[in-house]
Amino acid sequence: MGYPLVYGVRNVEADREEDPLPEIPDLEAIRHYLMPRLDRLTVTRTETPIPWLVRTGAEGLVTIEGHQFGEIHRLGKFLLFFLDEARILVVNPMLTGRFHWVEAGTKKPGRLGVVIAFDNGYELRYSDMRQMGRWYLVTQEELPGVPQMATLGPDAMSVTEDEFLARIKSRRGQIKATLANQEFIAGIGNAYSDEILWAAGLHPHRRRATMDEDDLHRLYASMRAVQEESIAIVDATVQGEGLGKKEEWREHLKVHRRAGTPCPRCGSEIKGQVRSGSETNYCVVCQPLFE
């Protein structure tokens, strides 16, 4: 296939490059953690140490002072913070965006980009080591104008099986690339596409055009099951540890970043392939390329 192979060796540099975090389970855990904590708190102060992260203009963030947050929604890899005055703070954390919920005066993290202080003495902080994240303060009418928002496919946790099957049948390329394409299905990235395909018994480089109805039904069921299981695990971890304690939650994954370890299902060695800094992991026995 022309991919450099990593068999039984952990490529640390690839690990750090490859996962555009967070994915659905991570964002759901952040959402579940923050929503009850922000509920009915009033914003007292905003700061933008890295102003260009707020793409609609950092000077506009000051206008949320005196207002309250309502519900927090997720769409794909975006978090949507609804304000009490019909505006939405849209955040796409990208590769290295991290949220922190701390008392004011707590030591600041590196590359602190945005600070929102509340009347209970706590602050919502956002750090971003590579400064790739994107913040937008918009009205409901302006939401489709947020970059990538208008082209997002249906969310992986809300798409029905019928819609999923109808959409995927028009695709013919490699199945991992299809799953991670945000215009096809929103919210799945490199790590969880590996997990979903392992659960479904499908090789990541297998072409969609070679799959039959049973394969596609199994893929949909695996997509839902893997995400639901992972949301529960990551949610419990974050509720216990809090935000900002670590960069990611990946210990529960069965094959991703597990090159060289035994497959949890058959015991064969998990293989790894690295391309452009992105690692793909799978079991050649459980996930045959050709049927």
How large is the average pLDDT for residues 87-97?
A: 92
Matching CATH topology for 5-19+153-283 and 25-150?
Answer: no
**Local confidence band at 152 (pLDDT 50, 70, 90 cut-offs):** very high
Residue 138 has pLDDT above 90, yes or no: yes
**Local confidence band at 60 (pLDDT 50, 70, 90 cut-offs):** confident
Looking at residue 38, its pLDDT comes to 96
Looking at residue 13, its pLDDT comes to 35
Looking at residue 291, its pLDDT comes to 59
Structure tokens of 150? 């208008």
How far is 185 from 226, CA to CA, in rounded Å? Answer: 15
Structure tokens of 52? 């260009």
Considering only CA atoms, which of 82, 78, 88 is closest in space to residue 39? Answer: 82
DSSP code of 44?
A: E
Taking all residues of the chain, what is their mean pLDDT, rounded to a whole number? Answer: 89
Taking each helix axis as running N to C, give the angle between helix 213-241 and helix 24-38, from 0 to 180 degrees, rounded to the nearest 10.
40
Residue 236 has pLDDT above 80, yes or no: yes
Residue 1 has pLDDT above 70, yes or no: no
Containing 214, the helix (H) or strand (E) segment is helix 213-241
How far is 239 from 109, CA to CA, in rounded Å? Answer: 20
5-19+153-283 CATH: 1.10.8.50
With a CB cutoff of 8 Å and minimum separation 6, the contacts of 100 are 109, 123, 124, 125, 126, 127, 243, 244
Residue 16 has pLDDT above 80, yes or no: no
Looking at residue 22, its pLDDT comes to 84
Residue 4 has pLDDT above 70, yes or no: no
Q: What pTM does this model have?
A: 0.89
How far is 272 from 11, CA to CA, in rounded Å? Answer: 9
With a CB cutoff of 8 Å and minimum separation 6, the contacts of 38 are 69, 72, 81, 118, 124
Q: Report domain extents, the chain.
A: 5-19+153-283, 25-150
CB 143 within 8 A of CB 90: yes
CB 256 within 8 A of CB 272: no
Instruction: Please report, rounded to a whole number, the percentage of residues in the chain having pLDDT higher than 90.
Output: 79
How far is 155 from 237, CA to CA, in rounded Å? Answer: 23
Considering only CA atoms, which of 136, 139, 138, 112 is closest in space to residue 124? Answer: 112
**Local confidence band at 2 (pLDDT 50, 70, 90 cut-offs):** very low
How far is 271 from 273, CA to CA, in rounded Å? Answer: 7
Fold of 25-150: N-terminal domain of MutM-like DNA repair proteins (3.20.190)
Give the SS3 label for residue 64: helix
Looking at residue 289, its pLDDT comes to 87
Containing 79, the helix (H) or strand (E) segment is strand 78-83
How far is 100 from 203, CA to CA, in rounded Å? Answer: 37
Beta bridge partners of 72: 81
Looking at residue 96, its pLDDT comes to 85
Residue 87 has pLDDT above 70, yes or no: yes
Q: What tens digit of pLDDT does each residue of 6-15 get?
A: 323 333 333 3
How large is the average pLDDT for residues 104-119?
A: 94
Q: Which amino acid is at 107?
A: K
